[in-house]
Structure formats: structure tokens, C-alpha cells
Structure 1
Amino acid sequence: MLLSISVWKEVRRVSKANLVLRIIAVAIAVAALACIAIPLTCQTGQTVSDKHEAVLLTDGFNADSLKKYLYVPVFTTSSPIKKEYPTAVLLNNLAEVRADHPGITGLHILGYGLDEEEMKVLSGMPVAFHPAPQPTGISSIGWNHNLKAGEVLKVQGRFNDPENKNYLVILKGLNVTLDSVAVKTSGDFELHTTPKTAGNIVYRLIVKSGQDTLENESLPLHIGPVKPLKVLILASSPDFENRFLKNWLSANGYAVHVRTTISKDKYSTEAINAPQIALTGLSATTLQNFDVVVGDQLALQNLNSGESAALKQQVTQKGLGLIVRADSTGKNDSWFQSSFPVYRTSGQTQNSSTLVLSGQTQPTQALRLDPVNIVYKQGTQVLASDIKNRSLISAGMAGAGKVIFSTLNNTYNWMLAGDEQDYTAYWSLLIGKVARQVSVSRSLIVLNELAGFNQQINVEVLSASQPDSVTIAGVKPAFAQSDAVPFLWSGGVWSSKTGWQNVGNTTGSAGDIYVFGDNDWQTVKNCRKIFVTNRYAKENLLNYTNAGQKVHQISRQIPKIWFYLLLLAACTYLWAEAKFSVR
């Protein structure tokens, strides 16, 4: 219509000069205007590699990276990603890749990747992993989930801080700050506290930058009751070390018996937090009542043959723990010292030094030390050393039990100086390391401690017989016996709710199991996925060396700039022709 009217107007003009050119210019102008209004496309061929591969989108992927994978099938198992990238095919699980798309022989994984269970479904399919940058925050975390009352909670982790900002990691319980540490660069951190309550509790681990909260994570703990240990102190004479130890043990709920030599075959005895028993003659039956015996070297060497034999039998056959305090008068040929040769530096006097205790990151306050140290012997463990890394306390196995040999006889000086923390750490370490172990008929170990909602909780049970009575949240797992370890049983249940899940019919220290929410520990999970997917990709590398070629016909839109230029040229000619023809 527009073309007809324009041509008619040109024909009716009085001047017939350049009529054909004017009609052509009008036709070009109208055609260009129509092409601007209606997009035009053309078909072209593009040669691409026929690799039978696909793309799998996971959380954290960058949409721009998909430009490299035109005409490649795109999958995802995430509904939010499907909404963000509608052309992706939503899978219920990764098994559908092999089942519904058998021609696909390799995957490009974009984003944070997959976890261990998802990787198992791929069954060795070649993979090329294109990871997202590691997120800022806590990248790994660990803590002792199950404690006994009075034990120290240790929270250890690693923080990823690529921008080197200032962050504060805070441990909170019942809305009270229990410990905190400043983080300025990527690295490890550690927090400590001693829980005051028992049962199932949930602390919070919070990461803050100024007033902004980066993370607020759950830290579940099971605090079990402590069966009071029974300790026997054998002293060759009254001294401050035994007096302070007796007071500390009794104040912390231990059942304490003390036998102090007054003269040959004459003793004074004392019982605290426990009924009085006869300690004049130590027999195997008497020693069976105790978990730990603490004695100075002289007192132990002065035991008569019957008492010494009974003590050795209880240690080597029944698992009784023995702590020996060395002294300058004792001999070095006793059965309990055979693994702990002592070196005495002649011509030196006492010197002051801090101690490094096993499992502690900070040294203790200084003590006056005798010029004596224990020579390391294979099969022993150093529990404390001085600033020159000389062994002062060492532990070793003695049959079914353990023996600790210590060169320290003045730890009470810590208490006199008001340093109860070091004193407690020292004696808790020794007693905890050496105490008689209580036999456990059945114990449970949780393998995936960050299990979330609607995920399988994988557990192992140590049991001499099939653990049919073990339940998790009221459900009996189907346990399978290990071929290599007959008393190891593996099983699992699917979590149907978050929070604490009751564990029934076990006698170990596993306690109940905590199921996390979907949004808990996302940074840790994503960093773990990156690690797991990287490892899988290295073992199952996607590497096409003889891929075929395939030509794809594609439609391309013709750029409208050309039509604008034609319209401009045609209109310019018509304007110029009309102006100059009038002249």
C-alpha cells in the first residue's frame, strides 16, 4: 500500500526527469522500512566437533561460561538452576543421564560440582570439571561431637579469605560468647570451651565482618555423663604433690584412695568420695576396684613381692592404668620403667621452662625442672616436653594396660601460682590417657556427620553379633557385615526430619545423631564438592582425541544497520533530486 501510494505520487509529478530512478529509490526506501519492522534471517552452516558430550550445571556456575557449549545438551538436578536457565533439562538424579541419553559419553561439570554419593552414580563416566571460585567463609570444619562432662570442646577449621578482609569467628552457646578468634587471611583457626550442661545441645558458630553476618551455623554436641574414675595414690611419704593431687581429684568428682607409708609395713589411708577399703595389703582383688594407680617411684619399688606381682598382673592383663612419678632415689630396673630410660645431666641444677602438652597448642606456664629427661624408645609416646624439646613425660603400652612415666614432681606450683588451667590440663591428660578402658559391647560411628534433610545417614557399628536391635529415629537400618573385619557392620537410614535423631540400643559414646537443614554449612559443603569433583575428574579425565565433525544449519538475523543505511540513501536521493530538479 505504502509502495503504491509513493509510486503514484512520483508518477503524478509534473517533472518526468529521472522518473525510473525515483521509482527505484521509493521502492528501496519502502523495502528497507519493511525490513526494519520485520526481522530477516538467513541460514548458514557451522562445523562443530561431534564429541557425544553434555553439560551438567551445579550450584555456583557462571551463565557466561555456557557460551562455549552451543548445541550441547545441558542438564541439571537443581530446580532453582532450571528456573534460571530454562533450556536445561531437569533430571531427578544423575542415573537418568546414562539411562535416557545413552549416546552421551562425557560430561562438562560447571559450578561447585557433586558430592561423594552423586559421584558414585556416574560410575566412571569421563568428566571435565570447570569449578566456580571457592566461596569466602569456613571451607572445612571439625569438632568432637561426643564429649564426657568436663571435657574440652575443640572446634578446628579452615577459613577461606581471598580478599584478605577482617572477619571474626565466634563460638556461642545459649547466646553467650564462649570463644572467638580474628581471621585476617586464609588459614586455620581453633576455638575451645568446656560445656557446662549435659545431654544434647546445639552451639552456634558465627562469622562476622563488622556488623554483617557471613555465616551462622549449627554446632551440635552430645555431652554424656562421666562415670567417676577410681584413683589410688601410693605415696612413700607425705608431700605437697600428692596433697594437691588428692584435693583436685576429689573436687572434680573422682573417687580417691590414698595410702601413705609411715614406716615399714605401716600406712595411713584415706578415702574421699568413696567408702573406706582395706589397703594394707594390695591384692589383685583390691586393685580391681581402681581405674588408675598414681605412685612415686620409691613407693612402687618398696611394694612387697605379692603386691608388686598383683599390680603388674592388673596392669598387663586387666588394663589398669599406672602413672609413675620418678625420683632421684629410685632404681632403674623396675618392670614399669623398662620402656622409659632416664638421662640425668650431671653438673646442672634446676632450670625454669614452659611445657608443651600433647594436644595443646599453647605452652604452659613455666615450672622449675630437674636436669632429667626421658630418652625416647620406640613404641612410646611423648606427652610433654620442655622448650628444648626434651621428653619429660612419656607413655607406653604394658600388655593390656598403659604406663605413664613422669619426671615432674612439683606441678602443685601451678596451683600455688593460681594457674589451675595448666594443672587441670596436665592431670586430665595423664589420667585420660592411662585410665582402664571400659569394654563396649556395641558402638556406633556416624560416617557423614554433616548429613542433611532427606539424605542418607551412613553409620558403622562395631559389634560381635548382627546389630538387629540398633535403631536410628525409630528405624532399623539394614546392616551388612564387612568381609575384611567381621565385627564391623555398615548401614544407613534416610533422614525424614531435621534436628536430633534418637539412637537406640548402643553402648558406645556416639549419642544421638543430628540432621542439619538444607542451608546449614553450605560453604563447607560447596568446598567439599569442589575437592571431590576435582579428584574424580583427575581419575576419569574427559579427553576426546578422535572426535568427528558435524555441520549444524543455524539461522542468523541480518543486522538492521544495513536497512537503515539503504533507507537513508534512498531518502537522501529523493530529497536531492526533488530540490535540484526544481532549480
Structure 2
Amino acid sequence: MTLPHYVALLLAIAAAVAALRLWRAHRADPRRPRAWRLATLLALQPLLAAALYFGLFPLERALDPAELVVLTEGADAAAAMRSGGVAVALPEVAEVGGLERAPDLASALRRHPATARIRVLGAGLVARDRDAAAGIPIAFDPPPLPAGLVQLSLPERIVRGAGFDIAGRIEGVADASVALHDPAGRRVDATALDEDGGFVLHGIALEAGPAHFELRVSGGDGAPVAQSAVPLWIDAPASPKVLLLAGAPGPETRALRRWLADAGAQAQARVALGGGLQLGSASLDAKDLAGADLLVVDARAWSGLGDSGRARVLAAVREGLGLLLRADTPLAQASLRGLRAPGFPIEGGNGSAPWSLPPARVDDEQALRARLGSGSRDAPFDLAQAQARPPALTRRSWRVGGAQAVAFASAADSPAGWWRGEGRGRIGLWTLLDTYVLPLHGRGDLFDALWSPTLATLARARPDALPVVDAWARAGERLRICGWQQGATVEGPDGAVVQPIVDPHSGERRCVGLWPRRAGWYRLRLDSAERGFHVADADEAPALRLATLREATLALAAAAPRAPAGQGGARAAVRGPAWPWLLGWLLLAGLAWWLERSRLGLAGAARKNDAGRAAADAGD
């Protein structure tokens, strides 16, 4: 039962009790009231109850459905007048003529409760108005996309030393090309646009903290057309604990161990030297495996673990440990047991084949210096060496194909390896044999580009204390951050610190709302953890802003119901006014009060009055 039902039941009981009281009082009254007096008082009780009920819960008033024409940025007021329906201009519209203005869409809907559908004119609804439009049929004829950068996809999280991709789309520029420049102004990558104007650029994060990259768009003649800032926050890398096992010393193991040390990983190695001797003391008991993030083991060491050792490692993988098997020699079927899966068959491994890295898209001096650095006095930058073709590598002829197999670095020939999930962890198979030659040829960047994403993919997943904020937040617009932790704060560019409150309706997502007023870098902090996000100026990248409004409104219109049946039909019925019912209740209550206290309709009182008048006449 709802509240109106409970109130109706209570009022019905009150009317019945009042009627019973009146009936008993009527029988016990010595003045012998008339029957019509009792009938009137009894009839007033349900009327009083009904008037009070409808005063508290007025009847709904049915209204004819109507279309609300909403003018957004760039809309034409004359077109709105010709479209029919009620027209309302939102604050982003500069010239409205004689049309009604509204501070937001929610206010416009409250003013026009009969709205059953919305027609949006102009660029589209801003974030402030999208929640109010949810669930209402929306008609939106999008304007043409503006010329320039209309789509930009930035990586959610970037770690220092890792590569990253920036994707986007350019509209309205024929035969254009786009280039990515690092914070020092050096061109990192460049590419021509595809048929749809899309592009993907690759960069490298060299330093932790805020970094301002830049996209520069050039026309077919090479003349600059547009440029856009790309602010990125680069996290400091974590210090993973890596266990490195090798069945014999070798240059690949030595290069990998040195690279792990330079990358800041906590690497523990164990290399068999023969005759029962070994170098290093990495342990593989259950406690050490539970504390490690990744185990890198070559084929000989994996076979030497035995069935019990391999079972112990695979059990740790199911609990979250990452495993990378450097399959540099053939393996017995018993050693492959546990690595295979129905969607991850492993075959071959008896021979080897050449393997080449794909050529760099941009290899001029400026791009190479951005990737390799400018060198030092002891090791100066050598342009000829950097531009030389990277040495060909060798891979073991393993074949993996299946629904669970995900490739690592791909080349024209075949991937460098594959991985699959196993419980809470991941298992990887690596086929390259001699990546150590890359640093020897001065291409440590290519060695890092192969191994860094591989190990990052397999390493144990660690919980992130701070949430990742969507790119391209703008000053003056609401920003929602989900995954909020208790005690986290936000520091603005002016040093002001705020602690947003979690929306209780967001549930397990734990979302907070933030309304940044100034452009610049903001910092999320929780204890010692810190992550920054950039808030752009309100008018920065205007083509991207208009395209974002357009796409968000199209998505909202696609998700809305197509007929006024849902919430749109409900909006056409509103509560009527309550004051007539309350006024009627007051008049009925006054009438009942007067009638109960008057002598009207009392037979005994009438005879007494007649006797009194007769005695007065006799005395005269």
C-alpha cells in the first residue's frame, strides 16, 4: 500500500467513528432531534473525509501531449518559430528574439508539464541538461560536423617509459596529415588521414607528471591548418616484483635482467650454471610466488621444475601471478600440460624462422631524437645508426591459435607470442630468441617496446587507489568521477582543496560530482597517491566541443523511447490544484460545527420555547 492508501483508510475509519458517535448521541439526546438533523450530520462525515483526502492528494488533470522545441547553441530562432510547439531557448543561445528563455532543460520541463516529446535544434544538449532529458522521446536533426578535430581518444592511464596511442578524426580538411609533438616541440609521430579522416599516433612517455603534447594538422600542401593541445598525466611506474629463471646463462637472460634493473623492477634471478651450481637465489615456494607479480622462465628451467614445481606455479597463476614462458627450445608434452587450454592449443616449436620488426612510420632525425634521446658525451646520438634498419630477429616456430589466444607484438610474419587468462592471472608464451641484439645496435627503444607491454600485460593486477578521470573535462561543466575512495581530495590549480561527497544513489560505483570553475591541472590525492587531470578552457578546441555535443545528443535520442508511452505520457497528466478541496473542507467543517451547536431541528427545544412564550403572554 502507498501513502494515499493509508491516508484513505485512516480517514474512512475516522468518518465511521464520527458517524457512530453521532448516532449514539442522537439516541441519548433528551431534546429529541429531528431525523433530518441526524441525516445531515451523518452525510457531512464522509464529505469531510473526502474533501480532506483530495486536498492532500488532488486529482490528476489530463493535459494534451505537446512538443517542446529546445534551442541550443547555434540554433535559429526563426526556424524554431516555424516548427510549431512551445519553443524554449537555453542559455547557450545568443539571439532568441521573442522566445522564452530557460536556465536549463529541467526548468523548462517544469514550466511545461504537458511535454510529451522534445525537439532539439542546434548543436545539442550540454551535460547539464542530459539527465533531465532522459526517458523523454527526443527528435534531433544534427548539424553538419565542423571542420577540424572532431574526435579524440586518449589513453586512460600512461606510465612513464611506456608507449601510448592517440586516436582521432579530422573533418573537412582534404589530403591532410597530422603529427604528434612532444612537450619539447619535437615531432614524435606523423601519419596521413584514412578515408574517414581517422588517425592513430604513437608516443612515448619519458617523464612522470603533467605533459603537454600537441597535435598539428597540415593540409595537402603542407601548410598548417589547425593545432590542438593534448594534456596527458603520466604516472610514475610501479615497482613490480619479478622472478627470473633460466636453465643456463645466455645473452637474452643477461639483457632482460639488466633491462628489469634499469626499469626499477625488483628482479630476483636464478640461473643454472651446471653441475648443481646456480647463480642467484630466487625461490619458488608458495609464499614467494604469492608475493611476486611475474615469473619469467625459459624452456629449460620450466622443464626442470618437474610436475610438482609446475603445478605449484600454475596454482599461483590462478591466484593472480603472471607467467611468461620463453619457449626458446622444444618442450615435451608433459611440460606443456597446464599451459594448453581448449582455446589455446600449442603446437610446433621444433625449428626457428626469421622475424622482423615493422618499419618505423617516421624515422627522421627529429622523431628519432624524441624516441632515443639526444645522447650523452660518452654515447652521442648517431643518426646513421638510428636510421639503419633494425637487425632481423629469430623466433621459435611455435603455433598457437584459438579463441583464448591473444597476440603480443605483431609483425608481418607472425606475433612475438600469445597469452591467455588463467583464473585471476595470465599465462604467456614468448617465441623470440635474440632480442638482446637490439640494445647492442643502439636500439634500446625497440627492446623496451617489445618487452614493456608484454610484462605489463601479464603482471599481477594491483588495485588502483585513485580513479581515472575522463579526458577533456571543461571549465564550467559538471564532471563525474566514479570509483571514489573515502578520504580522497581534489586540489585545484589555485591550491584550493575540496572533498566531494559520494552520491548515495550511485551504489557500488561510488560516484562524486565536481564542477571545476577554472582551467588547469587538478590533482586527486589519497594519502601518498596522486594523480592529475586537466580541465580545458570552456572555448578550447571548439570543433571538438561541438562534435562532442552532437554525438552525446544523438546517443541520448537513440536511447529514448520512440512514443510518448513511457515517461512522456506520464508527464501529460499533472496534479490539479489543492486549494478548492481544502476550501470545501473548511466550509463543510464550519457547517458541521454550527449545526451540532445550534438548536435547529431539536423538537424538545421547540416545545420549551413555545411554553415560555405562552407564559410571557399570560403575564401580560
Instruction: Return the alpha-carbon distance in structure 1 between the equivalents of residues 534 and 490 of structure 2.
Output: 11
Instruction: State how 1:309-324 maps to structure 2 within 5 Å.
Output: 311-317=313-319, 319-324=320-325
The equivalent residue for 1:344 is 348
The equivalent residue for 2:481 is 459
3-state DSSP class of the match of 2:191? Answer: strand
Q: CA deviation at 1:541?
A: 5.0
Instruction: Return the alpha-carbon distance in structure 1 between the equivalents of residues 70 and 268 of structure 2.
Output: 67
Which residue of the other structure, out of 543, 547, 552, is the alignment partner of 1:532? 552
Instruction: Return the alpha-carbon distance in structure 2 between the equivalents of residues 457 and 425 of structure 1.
Output: 34
User: For residue 490 of structure 1, what is the amino acid of its counterpart?
Assistant: C
Instruction: State how 1:204-243 maps to structure 2 within 5 Å.
Output: 204-209=214-219, 215-243=226-254
Instruction: Return the alpha-carbon distance in structure 2 between the equivalents of residues 377 and 542 of structure 1.
Output: 45
Instruction: Return the alpha-carbon distance in structure 1 between the equivalents of residues 562 and 362 of structure 2.
Output: 41
Which residue of the other structure, out of 188, 204, 212, is the alignment partner of 1:202? 212
Q: Aligned in 2, Cα 1:352/1:167: closer, same or farther, shift over 3 Å?
A: closer
After alignment, is 103-112 or 524-533 more displaced?
103-112
The equivalent residue for 1:326 is 327
The equivalent residue for 1:249 is 260
8 Å Cα contact 1:321-1:434 kept in structure 2: yes
* 1:368 paired to 2:382: no
User: For residue 373 of structure 1, what is the amino acid of its counterpart?
Assistant: W
Instruction: State how 1:514-529 maps to structure 2 within 5 Å.
Output: 514-529=534-549
* 1:479 paired to 2:502: yes
8 Å Cα contact 2:70-2:87 kept in structure 1: yes
Q: CA deviation at 1:150?
A: 0.7
8 Å Cα contact 2:128-2:478 kept in structure 1: no
Which residue of the other structure, out of 447, 458, 467, is the alignment partner of 1:423? 447
Which residue of the other structure, out of 452, 477, 487, is the alignment partner of 1:469? 487
User: For residue 150 of structure 1, what is the amino acid of its counterpart?
Assistant: G
Q: Aligned in 2, Cα 1:475/1:241: closer, same or farther, shift over 3 Å?
A: same
* 1:495 paired to 2:516: yes
State the identity %: 22
Q: CA deviation at 1:141?
A: 0.9
The equivalent residue for 1:579 is none
* 1:449 paired to 2:471: yes
8 Å Cα contact 1:450-1:515 kept in structure 2: yes
3-state DSSP class of the match of 2:239? Answer: coil
* 1:379 paired to 2:404: yes
* 1:144 paired to 2:155: yes
* 1:395 paired to 2:419: yes
Q: CA deviation at 1:407?
A: 2.5
Instruction: Return the alpha-carbon distance in structure 2 between the equivalents of residues 100 and 200 of structure 1.
Output: 46
Instruction: Return the alpha-carbon distance in structure 2 between the equivalents of residues 206 and 344 of structure 1.
Output: 47
The equivalent residue for 2:611 is none
User: For residue 284 of structure 1, what is the amino acid of its counterpart?
Assistant: A
Instruction: Return the alpha-carbon distance in structure 1 between the equivalents of residues 527 and 157 of structure 2.
Output: 14
3-state DSSP class of the match of 2:120? Answer: strand
The equivalent residue for 1:25 is none
Instruction: Return the alpha-carbon distance in structure 2 between the equivalents of residues 89 and 233 of structure 1.
Output: 71
Q: Could you report, residue by residue, the CA deviation over 1:130-168 in whole angstroms, capped at 9, with x for unpaired residues?
A: 32211111221111253221122321112222x625354
3-state DSSP class of the match of 2:483? Answer: strand
Q: Could you report, residue by residue, the CA deviation over 1:55-86 in whole angstroms, capped at 9, with x for unpaired residues?
A: 332223357745744x765432235x33x343
User: For residue 447 of structure 2, what is the amino acid of its counterpart?
Assistant: Y
8 Å Cα contact 1:344-1:373 kept in structure 2: yes
Q: How many residues align?
A: 466
Q: Aligned in 2, Cα 1:338/1:158: closer, same or farther, shift over 3 Å?
A: same
Instruction: Return the alpha-carbon distance in structure 1 between the equivalents of residues 549 and 308 of structure 2.
Output: 62
* 1:55 paired to 2:79: no
The equivalent residue for 2:144 is 133
- Unpaired runs of 5+ residues, structure 2, are 1-63, 364-388, 492-496, 565-620
8 Å Cα contact 1:392-1:407 kept in structure 2: yes
Instruction: Return the alpha-carbon distance in structure 2 between the equivalents of residues 126 and 160 of structure 1.
Output: 30
8 Å Cα contact 2:208-2:236 kept in structure 1: yes
Q: CA deviation at 1:494?
A: 1.9
3-state DSSP class of the match of 1:425? Answer: helix
Instruction: Return the alpha-carbon distance in structure 1 between the equivalents of residues 463 and 239 of structure 2.
Output: 16
8 Å Cα contact 2:294-2:323 kept in structure 1: yes
* 1:297 paired to 2:299: yes
Instruction: Return the alpha-carbon distance in structure 2 between the equivalents of residues 195 and 115 of structure 1.
Output: 33
Q: Aligned in 2, Cα 1:104/1:325: closer, same or farther, shift over 3 Å?
A: closer
Q: Normalising by structure 2, report the TM-score.
A: 0.65
User: For residue 61 of structure 1, what is the amino acid of its counterpart?
Assistant: A
Q: CA deviation at 1:283?
A: 3.1
Q: CA deviation at 1:452?
A: 1.6
The equivalent residue for 1:156 is 167
Q: CA deviation at 1:93?
A: 0.9
- Unpaired runs of 5+ residues, structure 1, are 1-49, 270-277, 544-583
Instruction: Return the alpha-carbon distance in structure 2 between the equivalents of residues 167 and 434 of structure 1.
Output: 35
Instruction: Return the alpha-carbon distance in structure 2 between the equivalents of residues 455 and 129 of structure 1.
Output: 22
Which residue of the other structure, out of 284, 287, 294, is the alignment partner of 2:286? 284
Instruction: Return the alpha-carbon distance in structure 1 between the equivalents of residues 459 and 115 of structure 2.
Output: 59
User: For residue 537 of structure 2, what is the amino acid of its counterpart?
Assistant: G
After alignment, is 181-190 or 402-411 more displaced?
181-190
After alignment, is 429-438 or 373-382 more displaced?
373-382
Q: Aligned in 2, Cα 1:385/1:77: closer, same or farther, shift over 3 Å?
A: closer
Q: CA deviation at 1:293?
A: 2.2
The equivalent residue for 1:93 is 104
Q: CA deviation at 1:92?
A: 1.0
User: For residue 190 of structure 1, what is the amino acid of its counterpart?
Assistant: V
Q: CA deviation at 1:365?
A: 7.1
Q: Aligned in 2, Cα 1:507/1:402: closer, same or farther, shift over 3 Å?
A: farther
Q: Could you report, residue by residue, the CA deviation over 1:177-196 in whole angstroms, capped at 9, with x for unpaired residues?
A: 43333447532112222232
Q: Could you report, residue by residue, the CA deviation over 1:178-231 in whole angstroms, capped at 9, with x for unpaired residues?
A: 333344753211222223222223333343447976544332222222233333
3-state DSSP class of the match of 1:196? Answer: coil
Q: CA deviation at 1:284?
A: 3.5
After alignment, is 206-215 or 284-293 more displaced?
206-215
8 Å Cα contact 2:120-2:140 kept in structure 1: yes
User: For residue 342 of structure 1, what is the amino acid of its counterpart?
Assistant: I
The equivalent residue for 1:35 is none
The equivalent residue for 2:203 is 193
8 Å Cα contact 1:443-1:506 kept in structure 2: no
8 Å Cα contact 1:164-1:185 kept in structure 2: no
Which residue of the other structure, out of 525, 529, 535, is the alignment partner of 1:504? 525
Q: Which has the higher strand share?
A: 1
8 Å Cα contact 1:468-1:476 kept in structure 2: no
User: For residue 516 of structure 1, what is the amino acid of its counterpart?
Assistant: A
8 Å Cα contact 2:490-2:523 kept in structure 1: yes
8 Å Cα contact 1:240-1:412 kept in structure 2: yes
Q: Aligned in 2, Cα 1:200/1:416: closer, same or farther, shift over 3 Å?
A: closer
User: For residue 149 of structure 1, what is the amino acid of its counterpart?
Assistant: R
Instruction: Return the alpha-carbon distance in structure 1 between the equivalents of residues 181 and 157 of structure 2.
Output: 17
Q: Which has the higher helix share?
A: 2
Q: Aligned in 2, Cα 1:262/1:172: closer, same or farther, shift over 3 Å?
A: closer
Instruction: Return the alpha-carbon distance in structure 1 between the equivalents of residues 440 and 324 of structure 2.
Output: 23
Q: CA deviation at 1:459?
A: 1.1
Q: Aligned in 2, Cα 1:186/1:506: closer, same or farther, shift over 3 Å?
A: farther
Q: CA deviation at 1:540?
A: 4.7
3-state DSSP class of the match of 1:438? Answer: coil
3-state DSSP class of the match of 1:202? Answer: strand
3-state DSSP class of the match of 1:120? Answer: helix
Q: Could you report, residue by residue, the CA deviation over 1:262-281 in whole angstroms, capped at 9, with x for unpaired residues?
A: 22421133xxxxxxxx44x6
3-state DSSP class of the match of 1:397? Answer: strand
After alignment, is 293-302 or 112-121 more displaced?
112-121
Instruction: Return the alpha-carbon distance in structure 2 between the equivalents of residues 540 and 397 of structure 1.
Output: 40
